[in-house]
Homo-oligomer: A and B are copies of this chain.
């Protein structure tokens, strides 16, 4: 017996749930959990089906292709760990959290490698017997620097690339290469405080809450599809540095929750938005 996840999205039509679940039933697959959503504004249908049983992927997908309308997309992916590469700069809190979670089996991932543009987190990474690649941007232009990182990433063939406080802007080419596979944690409640120094901006604006946003990266700065967000209360006692310190706990929690959702294949990217089946 195996467990796989079927992800379907297509233009909305009558009877889609019925058609898809009929096919699963016909294949004697047990539906362990099913979620669906119709975006009526855009006439689009999304369904995530957790299946258990003996799979013949080829005929299952062929049957689905016969039944579904033109323009449908479907994926059948095994449940279980995904392979990731993590990119960092100097801050330890997000990377540290993911390392501890992998160590204790609390997250469905295998960290293939960590890449840093500084070596500040080399020591921490190697404590957990994970290769660390220090790829300094010093003396390189963006294309050259990214080229070196791409070579390393692609060697590991990761399912996802996680920007765990990687603090440099990435080029359109890099972003395009890992479309829908590149996840960032931004240290503000987007779309507030786009760009650099969001805690400084928050402090100067005098906000009473600060937050963090995990999102897929696109070529609009801090504008990709949002996966998860959260906030905490602050007040006049907080300096910009206090906000940054308090914010780190939200950042790692939001990134961690977003990763769980992505790794468990609960997220559809759709235009500049996500459909997330929690």
Contacts and interface: CB of A to CB of B under 8 A. Distances in A.
**Majority DSSP secondary structure for residues of A touching B:** mixed
A99 B93 CA distance: 11
A96 B41 CA distance: 32
25 contacts: A17-B34, A18-B24, A22-B22, A31-B38, A32-B40, A33-B37, A91-B104, A92-B100, A92-B103, A96-B96, A96-B100, A96-B104, A97-B97, A99-B100, A190-B205, A190-B207, A191-B193, A206-B225, A206-B274, A208-B226, A209-B211, A209-B229, A231-B231, A235-B276, A249-B253
A160 interface: no
Interface in A12-62: 14-15, 17-18, 21-22, 24-25, 28, 30-41
Contacts of A40: 32
Contacts of A249: 253, 256-257
A245 interface: yes
Nearest to A90: B104
Q: Chain A, interface size: which category?
A: 35 or more
Contacts of A253: 249, 253
A3 to B, nearest CB: 13
A152 interface: no
Contact of A205 (B35, B127, B226, B228): B226
Interface of A: 14-15, 17-18, 21-22, 24-25, 28, 30-41, 91-93, 96-97, 99-101, 103-104, 106, 124, 127-128, 189-193, 205-209, 211, 225-231, 235-237, 239, 245, 248-249, 253, 256-257, 272-276, 278
A275 B238 CA distance: 11
Contact of A25 (B14, B38, B41, B104): B14
B22 A18 contact: yes
B21 A18 contact: yes
B30 A14 contact: yes
B236 A276 contact: yes
A208 B212 CA distance: 11
